[in-house]
Amino acid sequence: MKTLLLLSSLFLTVSAAAKPVDDQRTLEIEMARQKGVHLKLAEPDRPYEIVGQRFTFSGIAVQAVKAEKPLQLLNPIAPEQYGSGHDNVTREPTTGNVNGLKIFSIRF
């Protein structure tokens, strides 16, 4: 019983320390679209990708190979250099809900 209580309090502590998704930028983009302004956003630096001449490789496996400490990818309070958990998920096109993980992806 004590173990269950300790694990649940540890889980709640780690969950509370997680960063929320930054919706401010999304809100600014949506407001610009409503006004008819077309924004060209800079492509963010993606440390979880390997960019070649013809292909781009990405996914959890690529991120684990490129990381100095791969176990930090499982740490919910890891530094930002290890990326976000949202980087390697697939989303439902109509609703935007997460429906899977990208283990290894090739883009042409």
pLDDT at 33: 72
Contact 72, 62 (CB under 8 A): no
The whole-model pTM stands at: 0.52
Contact 67, 73 (CB under 8 A): yes
Q: Does residue 21 have a pLDDT over 70? A: no
Sign for the pseudo-dihedral over CA of 81, 85, 89, 92 = negative
Q: Calculate the alpha carbon distances from 95 to 25, 88, 90, 98, 108 in Å.
A: 19, 17, 12, 9, 25
The HSE-up count of residue 73 (CA atoms within 13 Å, CB side) is 18
pLDDT digits (tens, 9 = 90+) for 68-87: 888 888 888 888 888 777 88
Which uninterrupted H or E stretch holds 28? helix 23-35
For 3-88, where are the E strands, in sequence order?
49-51, 56-58
pLDDT at 73: 85
